[in-house]
Each structure stands twice: as structure tokens, then as C-alpha cells.
Amino acid sequence: MERKGIVIGGGASGLTAAIWAARSGASVTVLEHMPRVGKKILSTGNGKCNMTNLRMSADCYRCGTPGFPMKVIERFPVSETLRFFRSMGVMTTDRNGYVYPASGQAQTVLDALRGEAESRGVRTVCDCTVVSAEYSGPSSDGSDGFTAHTSAGDFSADFLILAAGSMAAPSTGSDGSGYGLAKSFGHGIKKPLPALVQLRCEGDHFGALAGIRTEAKIALYAGKKSGDVLLAEDRGELQLTAYGLSGIPAFQVSRYAAEALDKKERVYASVDFFPSLDTEGLISELKEQRGFLACRDSETFLDGFFHKRLAAFFLKQAGIDKKRQISAIPDRKLERLAEEIKEQIFPVSGVNSFDAAQVCSGGVRTSEIDAGTMGSLLVPGLYFAGEIVDVDGICGGYNLQWAWSSGYLAGVSAARGRDWTARIQDMTG
């Protein structure tokens, strides 16, 4: 007997779950509250869609249950992801481990998913708001029963996959509505907070530095009763903004800032603007620079190191008069300058809102989900996929890999039903 399924959410994970459920023999309906499915996919990788990453390890993911993300990803790893997309006609290219469609367009990925879903007979209902969903329990034949009450009418099925996204980038459809549906089935939600987002910092100097990009290392600290604690650190191209810090390093540490600030802890970022050298090495380079440019004014001293506005900022911080001849800068001033370059302390007052965030931390608690099937441990026939779950990855294709892997596992497990779920649970203990 053909199993019928509902997938709530037509994003990356929802479309993947629907395709794999259909490939596994189920009749599937996707309910999407946006006018079209997959809008968020189009914004990934700056429109180029960083689909996955060849370097895949547990430290690329954050989750309330350590090890949970990789248990899921190991069942549908990067190699299977590449094979999946190739089977839909998508060629990929590897850029130092970062995988993109060869076309360089996110639209290619979305078109492939939409085309495959359509060819597999997946029904898609857009502009459809899910008001509530309920579980009616097992029927006489042992199958489970679900009903979704929506603005387009009621939909009934044997299984339900919640892939409604998080609260990040609500303009693309992730408005947090899935959390309420998960709660209605008894699932707990870890408080969602913005992740992969910009840091808002205190200080009146950011306006003069806005728009500058430079290589830097960020170390994020929280002040606690036991002393300052290192929360996270990252290195890469930092972007200075009128309100604080952006760019990949800021994004990578932002979820820790959001969590610490939510706990009312004092948070600050220590930024090293020349991470390729230690302090002593930098002092040596500055002394050599002094010899090369001895007869010039100090305002040009750091032009070979930094953007002019950033160079002027460091000179001011070190108390070096920009009109002073470079040869006259004493060693102690060069040492002070090196210290200013190697460590700038920026108090973090907040992170940007969900509107600017790429993903969220938090979501449906993984302790209530079977990592072998993505099935609910509370309600038979209920499954989860994608950002709605308390899993968030670092930048670099990791969040899309989570979408593909969790979508695959939810789709296959839901379509095959209780016997499959029980077998997987036996295998995983």
C-alpha cells in the first residue's frame, strides 16, 4: 500500500525529503507558505550556492547533542550528495574544498530540485499557510495518521515531515512558524538566536573605518565570575562596518556572542589585525619599515601594511604624530604600535537581527530526535529536516549539507515506515 506523506516547508531540506520519499515509493505533498519553493537557496553563497564542503568533521557543527549532526551526515555524506545532484544533471566544481554548481548559479540547484520533485510526482502547494497539524494515532492497518489544517484546506497523510526552517532570513520564508507546530506535538525548542551574523560593537571609531576589509583574527570572550572565558576564535577577511564587525570571522563566532549576550554576560572581541606574525616579529618588521622610509612623514608609515584609514587609526592609537618624520619614531612607540595592531578590544553590544542572519542556533531539541532516521522519539510518523532542528554549521556549505543529509534521512525513513525505523533503531542501538 502506497504511503502518503506531507512535507511542511519547500526549502532545501524539504525538497530533498520530498524527493527521497517519492523515490522510496511514497505519494508526497509539499506545503509551502511562500509563492514559490526554494527562495532561500537562491541567496546561498552570494547567489552561487556553496552546496557542500569536502572537509567534513564534527567541529564544523554546533548542536545541543554532541555528535548528532555527524551521525546523520554519515548516512548521507558528501559523496552521496554529489552523486544525488549529478543524477539530476548538476555538474559541480571544487574550489579548495568548497563545492559549487559548475554553472556558478544557485538557480541551477533550485531548478534541479524542482524538476526532480515534479518528475517524481511530488505535489507542491504554494501560498499555503499551515495553521495547525495533529496526530490521530495509528489506524487499523498500523499506519499513522496526520492532518494539516491550512489556508488551502485540510491535508491528510500517513507521515509528516517538518522542514519549515528557522527564523533566519524571514524574507525568504523562514519565519519560525515550524517551532509552534513542533511544540504542538510535544517537542521542546531550544531558544532560537541569530547565527552567522554581524557583531554590533561599542566605540565611536567604526564610522571612520566602515567598508574596510582586511585579514584578521577574532577571539571572542565572555566575562564570567570565574574570569574571562574564550568562547570561539576564527581568522579570515574581516569587514569593518559603521556598527561593528562583519565578514567570515565575525560570522563564525557570532552564535557564541548571541548566546552569551542572551545570558546577560559581558562579551568582547579581541582582534589581531596582523595574525601572520607574532608581536616580536611585527616589531622587527616595523623597525625595518622605519629604515626604508626614514625621510617620510609618519602618516605614510603603514601604507604598505593597511588601508590608509586603518593605518591612520593605528597611528593615532599608538600616539604617533602623523607629521613626525618616520626616522624620529622611537622604539617604544613602535612597540606600542605593534601592540595596537596585534590587539584591539571591541566590546560587543549585540548581534544583528534574524533579518541579517544566515542561520539560527537553537531549534527542535535533538535529544528528542532519532539520529538514525530523523524521526520523532515522541510521535510515530513525525520527522524533522533542516534548520528547524537545533543544528547549525559554520560558513562554507555546511548548513546546506545538513539540509541534504537530514532531508534524505527523513524522506527515506518516513516513506518506508515503522518497520524501517525499527530496523534502523536496532542497528544503531
Supply the CATH number for residue 65's domain. 3.50.50.60
Residues 338 and 326 in one domain: yes
pLDDT score for 425: 53
Q: Which residues contact 310 (CB under 8 A, 6 or more apart)?
A: 209, 212, 214, 240, 273, 302
Residues 275 and 204 in one domain: yes
pTM of the prediction? 0.93
What is the model's pLDDT at position 104? 96
> 381 and 266, same structural domain?
no
* pLDDT score of 429: 47
Q: Are residues 389 and 248 in the same domain?
A: no
Are residues 370 and 258 both part of a single domain?
A: no
User: 159 near 383, Cβ under 8 Å?
Assistant: yes
Domain count of the fold of the chain: 2
At residue 136, the pLDDT reads 87
Phi-psi category of residue 373: left, alpha or beta, with phi > 0 → left and psi -120 to 50 → alpha: alpha
The residue among 351, 368, 397 that closes a domain is 351
**Other CB atoms closer than 10 Å to residue 111's CB: what's the count?**
18
Asked if residue 138 and residue 218 are part of one domain, the reply reads no
Q: Which of 351, 381, 398 is the last residue of a domain?
A: 351
Q: What is the pLDDT of residue 138?
A: 74
Same domain, 308 and 395: no
Query: What are the residue ranges in the chain where pLDDT is below 50?
Result: 424, 429
Q: Are residues 159 and 304 in the same domain?
A: no
Partnered with residue 222 across adjacent β-strands are: 229, 267
Residues 204, 71 share a domain: no
- Indicate whether 343 and 420 sit together in one domain: no
- Percentage helix, strand, coil for the chain under 3-state DSSP, each rounded to 5: 40, 30, 35
pLDDT at 417: 87
Residues whose CB is less than 8 angstroms from the CB of residue 7 and which lie 6 or more positions away in sequence, other chains included: 14, 17, 18, 21, 28, 29, 30, 31, 161, 163, 411
Give CA–CA dist 423/429, Å, rounded: 10
In the listed set 351, 368, 388, which residue is the last one of a domain according to the structure?
A: 351
C-beta of residue 263 within 8 angstroms of C-beta of residue 279: no
**Is the same domain home to 285 and 262?**
yes
CB 335 within 8 A of CB 283: yes
Which residues lie across from 159 on neighbouring strands? 5
Domain with 420 in it: 4-194+360-428
